[in-house]
Every structure is written in C-alpha cells, then in structure tokens.
Amino acid sequence: MIGVILQQLNALTLSIKHGCRLPPLSDEIPSSFPSPRSTVVASQVPSLFREPYILSGYRPVNQDWRCYLLSLFQRHNESLNVWTHLLAGSVLLFRWWANVGTLGYTLDSASLPLSVFLLSSLTYLCFSVAAHLFQSHSEHAHYFFFFLDYVGVAVYQYGSSLGHYFYTSESAWRESCIGLLFLPGALFFGWCSCACCCFAKSRYRRPYPLERRICQLIPMSLAYLLDISPVVHRLCTVSWAQEPSLPFHALQIAFFLLSAVFFSCPIPERFFPGRCDFVGQGHQIFHLFLSLCTLFQLEALFQDYARRRDEVVEVFGERQLWWACVSILLLFLCCVLTALITIKHMSKTLHSQKEREK
Ligand SMILES: [Zn+2]
C-alpha cells in the first residue's frame, strides 16, 4: 500500500516538475553565441585574477567577449558583484521617478547639480558592472576595466560634492576656509583618488602589499572627508526634527563607513577560506553598503533640493552653478587620460613580461 502511494507521489512530482519547467536559458540564446565555459579553481587562472581566500568559481581567461556578457546568467565568484550594482542602478532610477512624482522636479539651472549627481551615480554603477563582468577576459582587460571603474568612482565623488555644496551646505560653512576651497578641492581630490588607484594597481603585484591599500585609501579618504564636510556641519548645527533630509544624510554616512570597512579588509572570507566563493565575500558586502549609501544620498539630496530650489540660483548665481556642473566633464576627461596613460604603461610591462617568459 505504502509502495503504491509513494509511486503515485513520485509520478505526481515528476508531472509537476515537467509542467512547470521553463525552457533553459541556453535555448533562448542564438546558437551562434558561444556558451561560457565552466568555472575553475584559483590555481587554473593567472595570479592577477586570484582573490585572497576565494578558492573557486573563477571564469577561465581568453574566452570570447560574448561569453563574459553571458556570464551574467552564470554562477561564478563575480556574479553578485555584478548583480548588486545592476540592481542598485534600477532601484536608483525607480526612486528618482518616485521622488519626481512626490517632491517635484523641473530641468533648469536649480536642478542641474541633482541631475549631475544622478548621472554620476549611474556612471560609477555601470563602470563597476562592466569591470566585474569583463575583467576576467585577459590581463589587459583586467587593468582596462578596473581603471575605468576608478574613473567612475572619481566622477561619483565629484557628483556627490555638487549635491552637498548646492543643496545641503549652510552659509556659515560656505564662508569658512573649507567652504571657499571646496569645489576646486573636490575636483582635485577626485582626480587624485583616480590617479592613485590606477598607480597602485599598476605598481603592485599579487599578493598585494599593505602599501597598495594605503595608496588607495589615503586620497579616497581625503576626498570623502572634504565631500562630506558640508553634510557633517549641517548635521551638527541644525535640529534634526526640522529637516526631513538629515536622518537620510546620517544613514548615507553610516553605510559609507560600513562599506569602507569591507572594502579595506577581506572579511568574512578571511575566516572561512573557500566558503564565501560565491556568496558572502567582503567585496559583495562593500557593493551592497555603497549602493545603500547612494540610495540614501539620493533621498537626502532630493529633500534638500525640494526645500531650496527657489533660492539656489539667487544664492549661488547661474554662472557658478553651470561652471561647477560642467567641470565634471573636465574631471572625467582628466581621469580618462590618466587611466589611458597608465594602461599604455601596463601594456608595455605585460608585453615585456610575456617576452621574458618565452
Ligand atoms: Zn567592485
């Protein structure tokens, strides 16, 4: 009797499975597309691609570019790094439209810094997605896409500074020494953090020494301390009960600091080598917290913009607003140029390295 029941249950399960089965993704992809090869262990990829305490889930190098694009739907040790920022970009756009509906928005000089902030956020998210998706193609691609990632971070830093300066800062802070030098300083430190990250990446080889992290963290920390200074000043001098944006600003700072911890240290994988190969790596947690920081920043800046939009042009003048916002293009060009010069240097180094190995 029990045997018959089990047999019938088995038949039912199989028919449900069959009925609900979706066509595999590979059926939907044109047959001309090459399919990505299975992932491999750390010892099967060049040392440049090996992450500390991540032992498997690496995509083989030198596949067709389309394989890396399709690896978006493959399980590998970069999958979550790609999807966290893809998801963050979509949520950011959704929250933008929601705020446009509730708080109002018109495309004019007053809203320019807010629009630039959105574009700069999308730039860093897209460049990061490209870096984590395509870096495994080759050593050259690895350097190229991570240098591009640093360009995106510099642009985002300056985009944030614009929002903080024009919508969040208090007049007392703007009249201070830091306030007077803020915009040129933000431009300089934005470029500086990109240049130092490119230099550190090209200078040091795996396993990376502590100097590399220091070389990246010092300019990035200085840039952040300057960029966030108008927000910290306002958090310390204005009553939180009066300003709906201040709790969001506090959250953006908290999530940024948390993200910095996971960016700097390979935790928790350090304590569980090989157990965080696909899920739970420190870099994935860093992506998650940085995305939350950006989302809270958008909420805070939208609230500040809604409160100040009628006085922004009067306080700062149309010319300063336009110059400050257009300067992001200058920063972008300087950073791209720096990245290109460094990649040219890296190409020569990789070429002579290959010649020596022959
Ligand atoms: Zn990343």
pLDDT of residue 241: 86
Place of tokens 């060049």: 46
**How confident is the model over 26-67, as pLDDT tens digits?**
455 666 778 899 999 999 999 999 999 999 999 999 999 999
Ligand 1 centroid–CA 329 distance in Å is 23
Ligand 1 centroid–CA 128 distance in Å is 6
pLDDT of residue 209: 84
Q: Which CATH number fits domain 72-357: 1.20.120, 1.25.40, 1.10.3470, 1.20.1070?
A: 1.20.1070
Beta bridge partners of 58: 40
Ligand 1 centroid–CA 77 distance in Å is 12
Question: Where residue 352 falls among pLDDT bands split at 50, 70, 90?
Answer: confident
Place of tokens 């998801």: 87
- Nearest-angstrom CA–CA distance, 248 and 296: 5
**How confident is the model over 236-271, as pLDDT tens digits?**
999 988 899 999 999 999 999 999 999 999 999 999
Residue type, 182: F
Stretch 160-171: mean pLDDT: 98
Ligand 1 centroid–CA 61 distance in Å is 19
Q: How distant, in Å, are the alpha carbons of 46, 60, 139, 343, 344 from that of 351? A: 15, 21, 11, 12, 11
Task: Give how far the C-alpha of residue 132 lies from the chain's centroid of Cα atoms, to the nearest Å.
Answer: 10
142 belongs to an annotated ligand binding site = no
On the 0-12 / 13-18 / 19+ scale of CB atoms within 10 A, 307 is middle
Ligand 1 centroid–CA 132 distance in Å is 7
Q: Which segments of the chain belong to CATH 1.20.1070?
A: 72-357
pLDDT of residue 1: 42
Minimum mean pLDDT among 101-105, 153-157, 202-206, 334-338: which range? 202-206
Whole-number average pLDDT of the chain: 91
Ligand 1 centroid–CA 216 distance in Å is 14
Q: How distant, in Å, are the alpha carbons of 84, 267, 268, 286 from that of 261? A: 18, 9, 11, 8
Stretch 299-327: mean pLDDT: 96
351 belongs to an annotated ligand binding site = no
pLDDT of residue 31: 66
By three-state DSSP, how is residue 275 classified? coil
Q: What percent of the chain has pLDDT over 90?
A: 81
CB neighbour burial string for 194-221, b if at least 16 within 10 angstroms, e if fewer: bbbbbbbbeeeeeeeeeebeebbbebbe
Structure tokens at 97: 């439209």
Question: Where residue 276 falls among pLDDT bands split at 50, 70, 90?
Answer: very high
Ligand 1 centroid–CA 287 distance in Å is 6
